[in-house]
Amino acid sequence: MNHISRDDLERYAKGELEERQRDECETHLYSCDQCMSTYMSVLEVIGSSLPDIKEESLFTDQIMQKINEDKIDKVAKRPFYEQTFFHYMLAATLTIILMTSGVFQSLTGYIDEVQRTRLSEETPSITNKILETTFIRINNED
Ligand SMILES: [Zn+2]
């Protein structure tokens, strides 16, 4: 099995790979611990562009902002959003032990609602109401 070069992992992290290369990269990362750990260190270097995960409310706010941006302009921003969000989730997984508060679970619930909204576009009024309620609840937990 050929490993992925650090350069390619960096380009992957920055979303600079072509779709086919990106797919190959993802497939390889899922099955190769060595490249995954290299990718983690690449992410640490690039990490300055990611939110400080210890600042939980900031972290949550920035994800909410990404989600809301995506809701507003799904067609144009979806690929960027999914790419970025994958990295957010990866970063979250790295420090999942630290995430002992309810923030993460609330966030997961919120994301579930967003995904459900995508699946049921015909009834936006009800799901939007649920989303608003969930969003207010999360904000009030600070
Ligand atoms: Zn590898």
Question: What percentage of the chain has pLDDT greater than the value 70?
Answer: 46
Domain ranges of the chain: 1-49, 50-142
**Mean pLDDT for the stretch of residues 36-55:** 74
Rounded to the nearest whole angstrom, what is the distance from the C-alpha of residue 33 to the centroid of ligand 1? 7
* Model confidence band, residue 132 (pLDDT cutoffs 50, 70, 90): confident
> Residues for the chain: how many in total?
142
Rounded to the nearest whole angstrom, what is the distance from the C-alpha of residue 46 to the centroid of ligand 1? 20
Rounded to the nearest whole angstrom, what is the distance from the C-alpha of residue 32 to the centroid of ligand 1? 5
Helix, strand, coil share of the chain (percent; to 5): 75, 0, 25
**97-113: per-residue pLDDT in tens?**
455 555 555 666 766 77
Rg (alpha carbons) of the chain, rounded to whole number:
17
Burial class (CB in 10 A: 0-12, 13-18, 19+), 126: exposed
